[in-house]
Structure 1
Amino acid sequence: MTIAQPMALHPAPAPTPTDDALPRRLADFATLGEALDYAAAGTRGLNFHDARGVLTRAYPYAELRRDALAMARRLIATGIAPADRVALVAETGAEFAALFFGAVYAGAWPVPLPLPTSFGGRDTYIEQLRVQLTSCDPKMILYPPEIGELAGAAAQAAGIAGVDWAAFAVGAAPDAALPQAAAGDIAYLQYSSGSTRFPHGVAITHAALLNNLAAHSHGMDIRAGDRCVSWLPWYHDMGLVGCFLSPVANQVSTDYLKTEDFARRPLAWLDLISRNEGTTLSYSPTFGYDICARRISSQTRAGDRFDLSRWRVAGNGADMIRPDVMQSFVDAFADAGFQASAFLPSYGLAEATLAVSIMPPGEGIRVELVAETDLSGGEDRKDRPQRFRAIVNCGKPARDMTIQIREEDGTPLPERAIGKVWCSGPSVMAGYFRDQAATDACMVGGWLDTGDMGYLSDGYIYIVGRAKDMIIVNGRNHWPQDIEWAVEQLPGFKQGDIAAFAITTPGGEETPAVLVQCRSSDEGERVRLREEIRERVRSVTGMNCVIELIPPRTLPRTSSGKLSRAKARNLYLSGDIKPYDLAA
């Protein structure tokens, strides 16, 4: 009788090591390709995990380089030439990583584009991709086979080639001479913070990128034994630059959860930090810390499940940092060894490649109370009690970066005076792709108008809000024009009837408010319209907004007749714009 042998189990992949014998270089390379060439000489790399944090693929930098060179030859075989754009749907995984660096090696400009979200639906995503494809004018878009129908429809609508990257990866890769990149060449285009209807592609050179990546490593004091964990999306500047390109250029092994897996099981992030011995670095917007603090049961001892004692850099960025959330996280996870001093606030934007300021490690969250009247530019009212808001210190200028606070007319302001934040340094963008007018509107003499408001104190920068109209909720950027446009599509409303802006709730959370001029005098009809507007905005943006109906001819205008969102916000908060009193 033959006895059946047990089936051999596939051994679990071993993660790439935290340390190896390759001497670490802190992003002191001329180009991104040169940075990967060096990292590939060691054994560190990228590690991809499933929704439960189980390692599914270890991807050493040597393997990434080999695959990227093959992808570069495939791209050249399809006719891709230097400075051509190659759009890539930015799914966290080895395929995107190889294609991104393949485009770089081929001299093309990779353009990371977003994955579908859980809101908005099929048509909204197709239109978003179509608009961004039209803006960056790529030769092709490559995407995961799982979204082939959506991405293919967007490609067809934009009149470009759409290719499933699984099919592309098995295509011929004939030998080809690879172009030699120069430091001043464009490395990639970044779409991260702009209107989905009027997007701006930020052009970043190799020199700007490597300068900023070196600033990360020096600012965070990267050292032996450091390892990174990230769930941030690779189409956003903090995920792409801070948690994908920076680990390559600074030779740091990194462990990844997909963003959608974090959204479903946020505590898997902390499980991964706990389980991977040596994890010391991880970044998140405020909402990531918030959702974890909310998810941990008050009956559960965090120390029974997590070990966060090695986490020395818990970065904060991508939205306004809320000190109450940070305190809640400390309260929830101190039992697991988390140290409040690990918090490392920072400030940045895609137009500066990423980092503008970084808190020195170990200083944690530092807060100042600022009068609301100072923040809004208003005057003290004797008939109302003074209100204060806690403003978080966002650190010192990143290496080689200079920050100034200026008046509207460009006049520099002294310490502790609130004004517009300007920055200058080698990592500031080359400009917006094919949009010289937009570039000229924010760049003057090598200085970048960030569009944010803040003040300097003892060498530290405090960000108090945005001068431009962008609304940031849960780390996602939304332009008010997109919200207003969504409402304008409803019957009975037109451009100029709607003003969208951000407000701060009593709990310190930022939320969008939408003022809509309503001509109906029937209260029942007003209630119906408010709900219709709320649902319309939610379907387009995924956000729940404060919707207020106001009388006609209420919204303020500039001298040229344009809507003044800033003035509308101030009048609303002061009570001078009075919405209709509607039933809840």
Structure 2
Amino acid sequence: MALGDTNMTGSQTSLIPTPTDDALPRRLSDFETLGAALDYAAQGKRGLNFHDPRGNLARAYPYAELRADALACAYRLIAHGVQPQDRIALIAETGPEFAQMFFGIVYAGAWPVPLPLPTSFGGKESYIDQLIVQLSSSDPAMLFFPAELADMASEAARQRAVEPMAYDAFIAREAAPCALPPAASDDIAYLQYSSGSTRFPHGVAVTHKALLSNLSAHSHGMEVQDSDRCISWLPWYHDMGLVGCFLSPVANQVSADYMKTEDFARRPLAWLDLISRNEGTSISYSPTFGYDICARRMSSQTKAADRFDLSRWRLAGNGADMIRPDVMQSFVDAFADAGFSPTAFLPSYGLAEATLAVTIMPPGEGIVVELVEETDLSGGSAAEGRPQRFRAIVNCGKPAKDMIVQIRDEDGSPLRERQIGKVWTTGPSLMTGYFRDPQATAACLVDGWLDTGDMGYLSDGYLYIVGRAKDMIIINGKNHWPQDIEWAVEQLPGFKQGDIAAFAITTPGGEEAPAVLVHCRTSDNDERSRLRNEIRERVRAITGMNCVVELVPPRTLPRTSSGKLSRSKARNLYLSGEIRPYDIAA
């Protein structure tokens, strides 16, 4: 049975997914505008396919149907008074409604602004506050939302004087054809809110030209084949989900299969079921935590080969956070007998300010790791008599087509190979700037180059990322990466990635010290005291630092819209007293 086929009885008929192969000659994103890309894809038979929580096909959506629906949405928007360059916010639920509205806004000459869905933490008021902040920044004319989010979305819209509108109510309107405004490659295509772990999100303005250049880089870097399908659970409000797994399939005429992010969270192995049922070759991306949760789920089950066939998973992309080689190895160990090849791993590096991709590993090279002595990472020198300690740094690939990467010191001077510094990049994929934020734009865009805010080094043309410059903890003039402190705590029983946030604070004596907030799941005060001491000793043993350890309730640590830990927000909430640690006797 082909991917997504379902047999139904009664009044329902079999659902057939859009095909992998198509007679339409493939074009690799060589279009002037995003609308032109969909116009071309609609001439073929490929398209998007939406699956239910158990991975069964719920809706096949050929690009021809997407285009017809998008044009109807554009006519409705224009009739409603929407003008070119208006911002139109839309909550990015993975489904045909968002897809047609996104392209409808593009056809109407306005700018779609994808906004996040609610998360499992923070609650109703926190989500409304998040929407209010992003509506304040983007200043849209309208906010579209799924009907089930009407209460929260309408309240946020009310507070910002934005017109609220449910997807289904708008799509049900009549659509009288009218003239569409012409689009140019230098026009803004959309605003992307970068999740940014170390600063407040900004609206990234991306032109059609920048987007299509980056999508072309994807297809060339991944060496797209006729047998490929894209399979994804990534959210469409994050750049990797929106650009890499929604817009890229359209612009490169690839059929795609989706499950919702919340469905993946409940049943992560359903993602691998989708990949297993694909009779062609699969391209599927995930941050490190996605591979981690799948490997953990398999630990309590029988052989992976009894359920999965991952032998045709051609490219297992990894990006959006620090790539952890130990997690990747655990995934290989869990699924090797199901045919998964470690050479399928495709590390990459990117950020919304560069549309998405900056570097991509050449297919087939897999995870390549270099061991770097920690004093090289911190800019210090090894203490006499102290054994060397190394950290595994993952190769994130070579610059994507037409992109250039340079490593610079604090003064902006280029560094030699294998010297750690700030990662700068330039090329046609760069944003025009942050929407209505010239100060923030000027801080990171300098003479046509983007300061990514990340630290890394180049080796034989490959980029290695070692951490975020702004996350760095500096104690006694020595740099420490918070990831190292968090990793030290993760090695203790009962902790996992995302349970720990490390950052610098200033002590009453005026010294900088590392603070570690840790999710605690025990209510016993003696056990909490023992745990705090164990964590403190563990961090001292790994890093040599004395740290402040605070145990906090589960699900307290804040996340970005893409689910990553936000250390800067955790620090701010802790210092302001909004994160209240457990009161434990010393």
Do they fold alike, i.e. is TM over 0.5? yes
Deviation of the 1:537 alpha carbon: 7.7
Aligned counterpart, 1:468: 470
CA distance in structure 1 between the partners assigned to 2:100 and 2:162 by the alignment: 22
Q: How does 1:185-334 map to 2 (within 5 A)?
A: 185-194=187-196, 198-297=200-299, 300-334=302-336
8 Å contact 2:558–2:566 — kept in the other structure? no
Aligned counterpart, 2:363: 361
2:511 is equivalent to residue 505 of structure 1: no
Deviation of the 1:172 alpha carbon: 2.6
CA distance in structure 1 between the partners assigned to 2:384 and 2:557 by the alignment: 43
CA distance in structure 1 between the partners assigned to 2:179 and 2:233 by the alignment: 36
Given the superposition, is the C-alpha separation of residues 324 and 197 from structure 1 closer, same or farther in structure 2, using an over 3 Å criterion?
closer
Deviation of the 1:134 alpha carbon: 0.3
2:138 is matched with which residue: 133, 136, 139? 136
8 Å contact 1:500–1:515 — kept in the other structure? no
8 Å contact 2:321–2:564 — kept in the other structure? no
Could you tell me which amino acid in structure 2 is paired with residue 538 of structure 1? Answer: T
Could you tell me which amino acid in structure 1 is paired with residue 552 of structure 2? Answer: R
Given the superposition, is the C-alpha separation of residues 276 and 319 from structure 1 closer, same or farther in structure 2, using an over 3 Å criterion?
same
Aligned length: 516
Structure 1 residues 502-538: Cα deviation after superposition (integer angstroms, max 9, x where no partner): 544136867412566687xxxx9x98x9999824981
Structure 1 residues 202-257: Cα deviation after superposition (integer angstroms, max 9, x where no partner): 00000000000000000000011111100000000000000000000000000001
Structure 1 residues 116-143: Cα deviation after superposition (integer angstroms, max 9, x where no partner): 0111000000000000000000001000
2:527 is equivalent to residue 538 of structure 1: no
Deviation of the 1:377 alpha carbon: 1.8
Deviation of the 1:383 alpha carbon: 4.6
Q: 168-177 vs 217-226, which deviates more?
A: 168-177
Q: CA RMSD in A?
A: 2.9
SS of the residue aligned with 1:87? strand
Q: 276-285 vs 151-160, which deviates more?
A: 276-285
Residue identity (%): 70
Given the superposition, is the C-alpha separation of residues 123 and 431 from structure 1 closer, same or farther in structure 2, using an over 3 Å criterion?
same
CA distance in structure 2 between the partners assigned to 1:583 and 1:213 by the alignment: 56
2:398 is equivalent to residue 435 of structure 1: no
Deviation of the 1:540 alpha carbon: 4.7
2:57 is equivalent to residue 55 of structure 1: yes
CA distance in structure 2 between the partners assigned to 1:58 and 1:261 by the alignment: 18
Could you tell me which amino acid in structure 1 is paired with residue 487 of structure 2? Answer: T
8 Å contact 2:42–2:63 — kept in the other structure? yes
SS of the residue aligned with 1:269? helix
TM-score, scaled relative to structure 2: 0.83
1:64 is matched with which residue: 62, 66, 73? 66
CA distance in structure 2 between the partners assigned to 1:46 and 1:221 by the alignment: 20
TM-score, scaled relative to structure 1: 0.83
Given the superposition, is the C-alpha separation of residues 336 and 202 from structure 1 closer, same or farther in structure 2, using an over 3 Å criterion?
same
CA distance in structure 2 between the partners assigned to 1:267 and 1:462 by the alignment: 30
CA distance in structure 2 between the partners assigned to 1:376 and 1:236 by the alignment: 31
8 Å contact 1:514–1:545 — kept in the other structure? no
CA distance in structure 1 between the partners assigned to 2:181 and 2:290 by the alignment: 41
Given the superposition, is the C-alpha separation of residues 501 and 135 from structure 1 closer, same or farther in structure 2, using an over 3 Å criterion?
farther
Given the superposition, is the C-alpha separation of residues 370 and 417 from structure 1 closer, same or farther in structure 2, using an over 3 Å criterion?
same
Deviation of the 1:279 alpha carbon: 4.0
CA distance in structure 1 between the partners assigned to 2:404 and 2:199 by the alignment: 32
SS of the residue aligned with 1:364? coil
1:46 is matched with which residue: 40, 45, 48? 48
Could you tell me which amino acid in structure 2 is paired with residue 123 of structure 1? Answer: E
Deviation of the 1:313 alpha carbon: 0.4
Given the superposition, is the C-alpha separation of residues 25 and 405 from structure 1 closer, same or farther in structure 2, using an over 3 Å criterion?
same
Given the superposition, is the C-alpha separation of residues 203 and 533 from structure 1 closer, same or farther in structure 2, using an over 3 Å criterion?
farther
CA distance in structure 2 between the partners assigned to 1:417 and 1:11 by the alignment: 61
Deviation of the 1:175 alpha carbon: 2.2
Given the superposition, is the C-alpha separation of residues 546 and 103 from structure 1 closer, same or farther in structure 2, using an over 3 Å criterion?
closer
8 Å contact 1:513–1:545 — kept in the other structure? no
Given the superposition, is the C-alpha separation of residues 253 and 200 from structure 1 closer, same or farther in structure 2, using an over 3 Å criterion?
same
CA distance in structure 2 between the partners assigned to 1:386 and 1:583 by the alignment: 36
SS of the residue aligned with 1:382? coil
SS of the residue aligned with 1:312? strand
Deviation of the 1:157 alpha carbon: 1.1
- Give unmatched runs, 5+ long, in structure 1: 1-5, 472-498, 556-580
Deviation of the 1:183 alpha carbon: 0.2
SS of the residue aligned with 1:399? coil
Deviation of the 1:469 alpha carbon: 3.4
8 Å contact 2:361–2:398 — kept in the other structure? yes
2:14 is equivalent to residue 12 of structure 1: yes
SS of the residue aligned with 2:283? strand
CA distance in structure 1 between the partners assigned to 2:158 and 2:169 by the alignment: 18
2:92 is equivalent to residue 90 of structure 1: yes
Could you tell me which amino acid in structure 2 is paired with residue 445 of structure 1? Answer: D
- Give unmatched runs, 5+ long, in structure 2: 1-7, 474-479, 492-496, 509-524, 533-547, 576-582
Q: 247-256 vs 168-177, which deviates more?
A: 168-177
CA distance in structure 2 between the partners assigned to 1:165 and 1:182 by the alignment: 28
1:400 is matched with which residue: 399, 402, 412? 402
8 Å contact 1:124–1:540 — kept in the other structure? no
CA distance in structure 1 between the partners assigned to 2:506 and 2:147 by the alignment: 45
